[in-house]
Amino acid sequence: MTSVETPASRAAFQLKQVTRQLTLRPLAIDDRGYGNASFVNQTAAIEADLLLRLASNRYVYGTPPAYGGRGAPAKHGHKLKLNDPETWSLPTETIEVEDAKLGQVRVTLWREYHFRNAPKHTMAVIRVEVLAPSNGKRRLQPMGLAWLGKTMPPLETLWLSYLRRFAVEHWYRFAKQRLFWTQLQFSSLPASERWSDLMPLLSWQLWPASEGCRDHPLPWQAPQDSLSPGRAAQAFAGILAAIGTPAPPPKQRGKSPGRAKGENTSPRPRYPTVKKRVSKRQKTEHSLTAADPEALKFPPEVCSKP
């Protein structure tokens, strides 16, 4: 990403590139960082359906009323807030399903709503609430979703599509924290791309390794019979010691001769810093005067005595 890009614009560009390579209309599932009017406006012309996570305090607006004949036509109708039941209108559809992992779930659907800054793009708002958790202890917060597209899938299965994101997000966290995906610094883009290509290979290698390696827990860790990928990576050194390496052992050499006389190495390439935060505008004398005329007056202690 560059300094002039935003996460929404970058995601819209990537989604557009992906849809060009597909023969079927895809369903893009995005978290609540993209559940806003900016992302909806930028993806309106892309041939893809969207299932977006909505923040719990998000406002959406219904269809505007008919034109009354005076003034400008209204752009927004009923105002609905996801975490305020007093603002809810009569839902279009409400179902209750029994999920094997979550328990009893209620799914509520409202149609023909939109974001304030995207009044031309209507969407279906979905609220998922776990009524009776299967474990009986953990209380799950309701989840808000928005669907935009041509043909909406059945409500019984649509909300389940978003749950697939959680497995993907856990892998990203594992790759960054345990496999050090983002900690290495490369001097070229091809080297970074090759390192990124290794991440899925390393992850899949840990799955069969979990059955053949011996657990080596740290002093504060409890032993495990079925190793997770993180514990398999922790015990992978035992597999490497057992199977060896095809590389020959290093040969001992004398003192390195170093660079030849007169040889100059090119410096490492430098790139501009990517800034994602907009700097605040510094206050000037004119802005201070406009905001508070008394701000430019000298304090009494510095004024000369008569």
Q: Is the pLDDT of residue 306 over 50?
A: no
Bridge partner residues of 124 (DSSP): 147
Contact by Cβ (8 Å): 43, 27: no
- Report angle CA 199, 43, 47 to the nearest 5 degrees: 85
- Quick: pLDDT tens for 168-200: 888 999 999 999 999 988 888 899 999 999 999
Q: For residue 266, give Cα distances in angstroms to 147, 189, 263, 270.
A: 52, 18, 10, 12
- Report angle CA 268, 269, 275 to the nearest 5 degrees: 125
Residues in the chain: 306
Counting residues of the chain whose pLDDT is more than 90, the rounded percentage is: 51
Q: Residue with structure tokens 């935003």?
A: 6
Q: How confident is the model at residue 45 (pLDDT cuts 50, 70, 90)?
A: very high
Q: Is the pLDDT of residue 135 over 60?
A: yes
Q: For position 281, what pLDDT does the model report?
A: 61
- Quick: pLDDT tens for 264-281: 888 888 878 877 665 566
Contact by Cβ (8 Å): 92, 111: yes
Distance (Å, whole) CA 131 – CA 95:
12
Q: For position 279, what pLDDT does the model report?
A: 59
Contact by Cβ (8 Å): 47, 25: yes
Contact by Cβ (8 Å): 64, 197: no
- Please state, rounded to an integer, the average pLDDT across all residues of the chain: 86
Phi, psi of 60 (to 5 degrees): -130, 160
- Quick: pLDDT tens for 61-93: 999 999 888 888 999 999 999 999 999 999 999
Q: For position 216, what pLDDT does the model report?
A: 86
Give the least confident one: 51-65, 136-150, 270-284.
270-284
Q: For position 296, what pLDDT does the model report?
A: 44
Q: Is the pLDDT of residue 217 over 80?
A: yes
Both tokens of residue 120?
């031309």
- Surface-to-core class of residue 122, CB atoms within 10 Å of its CB (0-12 exposed, 13-18 middle, 19+ buried): middle
Q: Is the pLDDT of residue 16 over 80?
A: yes
Question: Mean pLDDT across the stretch 276-299?
Answer: 53
Q: For position 302, what pLDDT does the model report?
A: 42
Of residues 140 and 91, the one with the higher pLDDT is 91
Closest to 241 in 3D by CA, of 258, 216, 204: 216
Q: Residue ranges per domain, the chain?
A: 7-64+72-162, 173-243
Give the least confident one: 26-40, 73-87, 250-264, 279-293.
279-293
Q: For position 22, what pLDDT does the model report?
A: 94
Phi, psi of 259 (to 5 degrees): -75, 150
- The kind and range of the H/E element at 236 are helix 236-243
Both tokens of residue 185?
């610094």
Q: Residue with structure tokens 């209108």?
A: 89
Of residues 282 and 245, the one with the higher pLDDT is 245
**What is this structure's pTM?**
0.73
Q: Residue with structure tokens 């079925």?
A: 226
Helix (H, G, I), strand (E, B) or coil at 128: strand
Angle, to 10 degrees, between the axis of helix 164-177 and the axis of helix 189-212? 100
